[in-house]
Amino acid sequence: MTHVVSRFDDLRTSLSGTVVTPEDPGYDDARRVWNADIDRRPAAVVYCATTEDVARAVSFARDAPLEISVRGGAHSASGMSVGDAGIVIDLSRMNDVEVDPEARRATAGGGALLRDLDAATQIHALAVPSGEIGHTGLAGITLGGGMGWLTRQHGLTSDNLVSARVVLADGRVVRAAADENPDLFWAIRGGGGNFGIVTEFEFALHEVGPQIELGMLFYGMDQAADALRVAREVIPVLPPDVSFQVVAMPAPPEPFVPTEHHFRLGIALVAVGFGGEESHRGVVDRVRKALTPLFEMVTPMPFTALQQMFDEPYGWGVHAYEKSLYLERFTDGAIDVIVEQVAGMVSPTSVVHFYVLSGAFCTADDAGTAFGGGRSPRLCVFIIGMTPQAEALPVERAWVRGFYDALAPHAMGTGAYVNELMTDDVHRVPATYGAKLVPLQRIKAVYDPENVFHRNANILPAT
C-alpha cells in the first residue's frame, strides 16, 4: 500500500480535480453514499473535474492495479459506487447543464443530479423524462433506463439520450451516438455502467410545465383492496397526458393531512396531469366517485416541486434495502398479497411504489435500446425498506424480502428493473435482459474485455 499511496501524489499533480485518501481531512465524508448501511473504505476518492481527469484516473487504477467504482449521485441502494481498498471515480463536480431551447437539446455532465437538469430545462418550460427524487444522479438512472412521472408521455430517460461522451476501460474517450459507435450507444441505453464512464450526456427535450396538476387521494388499510381495484379500472383508460402511480406508505405529517391521520398506513392513488386541468380532473373525479378517500390533495404545482416531492423522505443517511419486480396488472391474487404485506410495514419511512408503465414506454422500439424487461404495459414495483436506525434495518430487510417472495408468483418472470438490483440479486441479471444479454456480452467484450467496470449489475464479456 505504501507504493500505491506514494503514487497518489503523482495522480494529484496530473488532475484538475482532487484526490482524497484515508490520511486526508474529509475522508469519512468523501466515502459516504446515500444508503447509510454502506460503510466501505476505498484507498482513494478521485473528484474529477474534466473528462481528461476521468481518463487519467482509469489508467492510474488499471496500472496500480486498483478496483474501480464510479460515483455520480451516490444514490444506488446497493452501494456499488464505493468499494473497499479501490478507487472511487467521483463525477459530482462535473454537473454543468447547458440548454439549447431552439434545438430542444440539453447537455449535462456525468455528475449532474436530476434537480440540476430540471432547474436548467424548466427555465424554458422543457424537461427530460427522468426519476422522481431530485438528488438522484442523472448518469446512473439514464444508463439503467430511467422511469418516472413523464414515462407515459415521453418514454424512459435512456429513450431520450441523443449522444454520450464515454471514457473506456483502456482510457480512450469516444462519442457514442446513432452515427458513431452505434453498438456502444445501444448498450449504454439500459446496459448500466458496464461499458464505460459517461462524462457528458446529450438529451432531447420536451415541452413540460412549468405548472402541472397533482391529485393525491389517500385510503386507509381498511379500504386498501378496494383502492387497488379502483386503480386497476382507471389505469387502462388514462388520458395520454395523465400519469398515475400507486404508493403504499404511512400518511405524512403534512399540513394537508388531517392530524388524526398522521402516520396512518394506507394507499395513495396519485394522478399527475401534464395537459391541463380538464383531463386531470376527469381522472381524479373518477377515482373519487368510485371510492371516497380519507383525505386528498388536488392542486397545481411547479414541475420542479413534483420532481422533488420525495426528496425529504428519501434523504441522505437512511439505512435502506429494496427489491423490484414487474406486475402485468393488479390481479385479485396480487391485491391480496399486497394488502397483507403492506400491513406488515414497520418503519414509518418505508414505502412501496407501483409505477404505471404504458403509453410512450410501450410505443418505443424495444429492440432499439438495451433496456431489459420488455415494453408491454405493466407496473414496476419498488419495495423499499428504509429506517434512520442501523439496528432496525434487519427487520426492514426481512419485510422487503418477505414481500418480494410473496408477490413473485404473480410477477412477469424473474427479471427486474436493472437500477433496483441489489448485490444479492445478481442471479436475476440474465432474466432481466433476456435475449439482449448475448449481444450485450459481445459488446462488453469489445469495449471492456477485462471487465474493469464490474461494480454494477454486471454483464460478463463474451469469451
User: What's the rounded mean pLDDT across residues 313-342?
Assistant: 97
Is residue 241 scored above 90 in pLDDT? yes
Q: Is residue 301 part of a domain?
A: yes
Residues 219 and 197 in one domain: no
Supply the CATH number for residue 310's domain. Answer: 3.40.462.20
Which grid cell is 119? 432547474
Q: Is residue 455 part of a domain?
A: no
The closest of 83, 81, 109, 82 to 94, measured between CA atoms, is 109
Length of the chain: 463
User: What's the rounded mean pLDDT across residues 202-206?
Assistant: 98
Main-chain phi, psi angles of 316, to 5 degrees: -60, 145
Main-chain phi, psi angles of 189, to 5 degrees: -90, 75
> Chain centroid to CA 278: how far?
31
pTM of the predicted structure, to 2 decimals: 0.95
What are residue 174's DSSP bridge partners?
Answer: 166
User: What's the rounded mean pLDDT across residues 392-408?
Assistant: 98
Last residue of a domain, one of 46, 74, 90: 90
CB half-sphere exposure, 326, CA atoms < 13 A: 20
Residues 269 and 343 in one domain: yes
d(CA 233, CA 267): 16
pLDDT at 410: 98
DSSP secondary structure, 339-401, as one string: HHHHTT--STT-EEEEEEE-THHHHS-GGGS---S--SSEEEEEEEEEES-GGGHHHHHHHHH
Last residue of a domain, one of 51, 75, 90: 90
pLDDT tens digit string along 31-83?
999 999 999 999 999 999 999 999 999 999 999 999 999 999 999 899 999 99
Residues 278 and 176 in one domain: no
The closest of 16, 70, 14 to 42, measured between CA atoms, is 70
Is residue 313 scored above 60 in pLDDT? yes
d(CA 68, CA 30): 15
DSSP 413: S
pLDDT at 453: 98
DSSP secondary structure, 290-332, as one string: HS--SEEEEEEEEHHHHHTTTTTTT-TT-EEEEEEEEESS--H
Residues 398 and 439 in one domain: no
Average pLDDT value for the chain: 96
Residues 162 and 218 in one domain: no
Residues 203 and 285 in one domain: no
Q: Strand 173-177's sheet: what is its strand order?
A: 97-100, 105-109, 197-204, 161-167, 173-177
pLDDT at 182: 98
pLDDT at 4: 55
Q: Is residue 452 part of a domain?
A: no
Q: Which residue has the cell 432531447?
A: 204
Residues 299 and 218 in one domain: yes
pLDDT at 5: 57
Whether residue 346 contacts residue 399, with contact meaning beta carbons closer than 8 Å, is answered with yes
Supply the CATH number for residue 126's domain. Answer: 3.30.465.10
Residues 266 and 396 in one domain: yes
Last residue of a domain, one of 32, 61, 90: 90
Buried b (16+ CB within 10 A) or exposed e, 387-400: beeeebbeebbebb
Whether residue 14 contacts residue 56, with contact meaning beta carbons closer than 8 Å, is answered with yes
Q: Is residue 180 part of a domain?
A: yes
pLDDT at 448: 98
Q: Is residue 461 part of a domain?
A: no
Structural domain total, the chain: 3
Q: Read off the pLDDT band of 276 (50, 70, 90).
A: confident
Q: Is residue 313 part of a domain?
A: yes
Residue type (1 letter), 294: L
Q: Is residue 385 part of a domain?
A: yes
Give the C-alpha distances (Å, rounded to integers) separating 219 from 114, 270, 341, 384, 390.
Answer: 30, 11, 16, 20, 30
Which grid cell is 379? 407496473
Alpha helices in 98-137 (DSSP H): 114-122
pLDDT at 373: 85
pLDDT at 6: 65
Is residue 421 scored above 90 in pLDDT? yes
Element containing residue 214 per DSSP (H, E)? strand 211-220
Q: Which residue has the cell 407501483?
A: 354
Is residue 1 scored above 70 in pLDDT? no
Residue 174: CB atoms within 10 A of its CB come to: 15
Supply the CATH number for residue 77's domain. Answer: 3.30.43.10
Q: Is residue 462 part of a domain?
A: no
Q: Which residue has the cell 404473480?
A: 410
Q: Read off the pLDDT band of 323 (50, 70, 90).
A: very high
pLDDT at 424: 93
Which grid cell is 461? 464479456
Residues 314 and 326 in one domain: yes
Domain extent, residue 201, equals 97-208+435-447
Number of H helices, E strands in the chain: 15, 18
Residue 149: CB atoms within 10 A of its CB come to: 25
pLDDT at 315: 92
User: What's the rounded mean pLDDT across residues 397-407?
Assistant: 98
Q: Which residue has the cell 381498511?
A: 222
pLDDT tens digit string along 362-396?
999 999 999 998 999 999 999 999 999 999 999 99
Residues 150 and 277 in one domain: no
User: What's the rounded mean pLDDT across residues 446-455?
Assistant: 98
d(CA 69, CA 2): 21
Residues 295 and 401 in one domain: yes
Residue 84: CB atoms within 10 A of its CB come to: 12
Q: Read off the pLDDT band of 339 (50, 70, 90).
A: very high
Residues 288 and 405 in one domain: yes
